[in-house]
Amino acid sequence: MSDQQQLNIALLQMDIAIGEPDANFAKLSEMMEEAVRAEIKPDVILFPEMWNTGYALDRIRDIADRSGERTAEFVSGFCRKHRVNVIAGSVSELAGDQVRNTIFAFDRDGNRTADYSKIHLFRLMDEEKYLHAGDKIGLMDVDGIPAGMMICYDIRFPELTRKLALGGAKLMFVPAEWPHPRLHHWRTLLTARAIENQMYVVACNRVGTSGTTSFFGHSMVIDPWGEIVAEGDETEKILTAAIDLKVVDKVRSTIPVFADRRPELY
């Protein structure tokens, strides 16, 4: 399917039960099944950040997914059964003796095709005290389309998005747990990343409350012109959108940002 240029996307904007992996796996399973029953079946399903445990950091080592094995078992069979790609948000993953915030991606055959561990840890939620940062960027492909992966706080670092775009990415997947009161930052940063890199940005944020922190959802799909294709509200829901990757080539040829760069000066 390497010549595919159109993708139907489903974003599972869910509430997350902090520290309760079993409950979160059960809820996500229901939402996944609902997503593939839609009149227009998705090509790609995206989950939010740390959906398996939430930010239960004080006991994260005990409840994190060991080497992503439970996530792989959970998602792989679903992908094979329904012939769908899944960008499995991010999970707290116990890798050796390190806990990381990691995305796993699966293709339509259920193969784990890529992973990416968050490289920018968010001090406001104490990530750096409990988690280890990743050491590579998140390039992959979906049905032959070059894509990138970032996680939440990563979108504040434009250098990362540009590196992924220069690596060929036409599409960016962003799972997140982005809280109130920074909705304006969320919408602005995602839109900026889409415009400056002339790519689609697909971002799935959680809803609900964890301790004293509330999360506003507003999962988004933004096109390479910076136009919002779809945006959620603050409730738990499945957000869908259709994207046409030919638009990326059109925008990049109309305003040749990449050809006009002067990296020798900056």
Residue positions annotated with a catalytic role: 49, 118, 152
- The token pair that represents 83 in the structure block: 């012939």
Name 216's bridge partners.
207
- The token pair that represents 60 in the structure block: 């994260």
Closest residue by Cα to residue 145 from 46, 223, 75, 246 = 246
CA 166 and chain centroid, separation = 19
Q: Which residue has the tokens 């997140």?
A: 176
Closest residue by Cα to residue 48 from 186, 156, 202, 169 = 202
| CA atoms within a 13 Å half-sphere pointing along the CA-CB vector of 49 | 28
Q: Which residue has the tokens 């046409």?
A: 244
